[in-house]
Structure 1
Amino acid sequence: MEPDLVDFLIPVSGFSGPLFTILVLALVLDAIFGDFPWLFSRISHPVVWIGNLIAWFEARLNRPGRSHADLIVRGIVTSLAVIAAAGCFGGVVQLVSTLGDVFRGFEILLVAVLIAQKGLYQHVKAVSTALRKDGLAGGRKAVSMIVGRDPDKLDEAGVSRAAIESCAENFSDGVVAPLFWYVVAGPIGICVYKAINTLDSMIGHRNERYLYFGRFAARLDDVVNFIPARIAGGVICLAAVLGAKTSGKAAWQTLLRDAGKHKSPNAGWQEAAFAGALDLALAGPRQYGDEIVDDPYIGSGRRDVTASDIDRALSLYTGACLINAAWPVVIKLLWVGL
């Protein structure tokens, strides 16, 4: 690889400079502090800022009675405005970071806040803990914090599957993709990615209210997650090879066979890899409010999933996070060797 291409892909002074150190320190901060509850109990999280901006535009532009084409245009305007605001914020952080080593703390904190490794682990672990401690009622309450489906319709297996599916899908959205886009485009890249991902989660739904207004946001989210989702699937398969109670071969076979069964062009890669590695059947029919989604199962293993399987999934997730954190190290070693 030519050095000028590497400089294009890694814009923040190259891996021989501060980017590598920033990544390492950010991942360490995330591993220690997770969602930074002590900080964000006092100020709003950056994703909350993005969400508030989306809600402001949506309340003013997503008007009933408008034509489908008009709603699509209004959704595009909303998406581009939110993305531009997030990109400007990232640009300010990137500019401040270039003023000297002491100012790079802002960039380190930004990356640590927007990569959600520990936070996702804690939310999923809370489901298995609640199932054991408080039974089905506790599990339903805990899983309602991380999934959109109706928890009151879930039995223990449904609660457990929902927790594992959330862990799998958010491994890409919350861990792999933010790191990927930070490496590609620095603070601007990670902020723009979180804006797109938040837009999709808020307005990218296939219901009457958002089908047209959120269409652009949903498609854009598919685009920016295309490469990270496939990286995530491969990382999970590798973690399954190295895990004590997981099958890398089955993870890979299930990924190739079942990833395309998911209605999302990206989420199936992680869910299929988890299902194969753990010998489970994930996805399948689910209920969101009054709507029943009759999706096929991903994986050919057990459907009677339990809290113990959630813990197995978290072990696999931990291994995948470690591997995902290691690939920038490999890039640095390759860069130094150029």
Structure 2
Amino acid sequence: MAVTLLRFTFYSVLIGFVIDLFVGDPRRFPHPIIAIGKFISLCERAFRKIFPKTPAGETAGGACMVVCVCIVSAGVPAGLSALCFWLSPYAYLALSSLFCWLVLAAHSLRKESMKVYKKFKEGDVEGARFAVSMIVGRDTGTLDEKGIARAAVETVAENTSDGVVAPLLFLFLGGAVGGFLYKAVNTMDSMVGYKENGYLYFGKAAARTDDVFNYIPARLSALFMLLASVVLRYRPRNAWKIWRRDRRKHASPNSAQTESVCAGALGLRLAGDAVYHGVLHEKPYIGDALREIEPFDIVRANRLMYCTAFAALVVFAAIAAPVLFLAI
């Protein structure tokens, strides 16, 4: 029975990847990540009321929120998966495939970032500014055309790890339970893992947990992206050079991993100062400006993202398959 569970989990990851590749997030379906986001907001309000408004109190409240959200986000899919497997392995396969599909975001990342490129092609700079504001956390009101394109490219580069490779790794390791656990941690970081607007202490645990969960996936993503730069002939030597030099040029230990590879592969200078919630954050540049950025770099970044995703899928599946079908 355990062998059947593991093998069907393996199949469900592959099926979920293919569905995401062609369909993306469903529009008329209640997305579980949205539910996780609402639960995070509920927990935040509750624990802010319970714990005192002191640095120690807010830190403790944020830590309790992380534990609570992780338990529920992993426990719900675990319970539903166990019930379906008890009913039928094929019912489990169907549900697990659905869950894996909803955890991955390659198609949606491409779709949303390409909206920026399409607005540029139409000559609608303000439309491009609005489109990029939907996918980045920074303030976009003062960005010029190059800044808008740069923000879109950076988002695709960074989310190649957060939205594709990292959840794919957790799906292979723990099925839907692992995938939703990762997405819960990642969503908490995006919602409360800031140093301003009252989150300096409350969001500390979420930010640190996200750093831990992404430490290995971010570095694997960078290696897969380096391989993708070779396949696509996107300056692989420069990608290697910039990754080696600039992969630590970020406050997060993980965010510059794929961003540095992308910058080197495309011959661009990315990052630099940015405004978040009205506050200027001084950041070092990543990469060298071998040429000026252009809107078509959004297309190039997406090609790099998709090739990276395929490389990760092939490698993870190649490692898992012999264990499941030969060793067991």
TM-score (norm 1): 0.90
Find the partner of 1:60 among 39, 46, 49.
46
Q: Any residues of structure 2 matched to 1:66-215 within 5 Å, and which?
A: 66-99=53-86, 100-103=88-91, 104-215=93-204
User: 1:299 aligned to 2:297?
Assistant: no
Q: 1:326 to 1:97 in 2, by over 3 A?
A: farther
CA deviation profile, 1:169-210 (whole Å, cap 9, x unmatched): 111111111111111122221111111111111111111411
- Asked whether the 8 Å contact 2:267–2:291 carries over to 1, the reply is no
RMSD: 2.0
- Asked whether the 8 Å contact 1:161–1:282 carries over to 2, the reply is yes
The offset of 1:93, in angstroms, is: 3.2
Q: 1:148 to 1:113 in 2, by over 3 A?
A: same
| Gapped regions of structure 2 (runs ≥ 5) | none
**Aligned-partner residue type, residue 88 of structure 1:** G
Q: Any residues of structure 2 matched to 1:173-322 within 5 Å, and which?
A: 173-244=162-233, 246-302=234-290, 304-322=292-310
Helix, strand or coil: the match of 1:292? strand
The offset of 1:337, in angstroms, is: 5.2
Helix, strand or coil: the match of 1:37? coil
Residue 3 of structure 1: aligned partner: none
- Asked whether the 8 Å contact 1:12–1:186 carries over to 2, the reply is no
Helix, strand or coil: the match of 2:28? helix
**Could you tell me how far apart the structure 1 residues matched to 2:200 and 2:291 are?**
32
- Asked whether the 8 Å contact 1:15–1:332 carries over to 2, the reply is no
Residue 18 of structure 2: aligned partner: 28
**Aligned-partner residue type, residue 232 of structure 1:** S
Q: Identity over aligned residues, as a percent?
A: 33
The offset of 1:303, in angstroms, is: 6.8
**Could you tell me how far apart the structure 1 residues matched to 2:83 and 2:267 are?**
48
Q: 1:81 to 1:331 in 2, by over 3 A?
A: same
Moved more, 74-83 or 283-292: 283-292
Structure 1 segments, 4+ long, off by >3 Å, are 11-16
| Gapped regions of structure 1 (runs ≥ 5) | 1-10
**Could you tell me how far apart the structure 2 residues matched to 1:137 and 1:61 are?**
40
CA deviation profile, 1:307-331 (whole Å, cap 9, x unmatched): 1111111111121121122123311
Q: 1:65 to 1:16 in 2, by over 3 A?
A: closer
The offset of 1:77, in angstroms, is: 1.0
CA deviation profile, 1:85-138 (whole Å, cap 9, x unmatched): 111112113313423233121110001011111010101111111111143211
**Aligned-partner residue type, residue 207 of structure 1:** E
Q: 1:12 to 1:237 in 2, by over 3 A?
A: farther
CA deviation profile, 1:237-261 (whole Å, cap 9, x unmatched): 00000104x0122111111110111
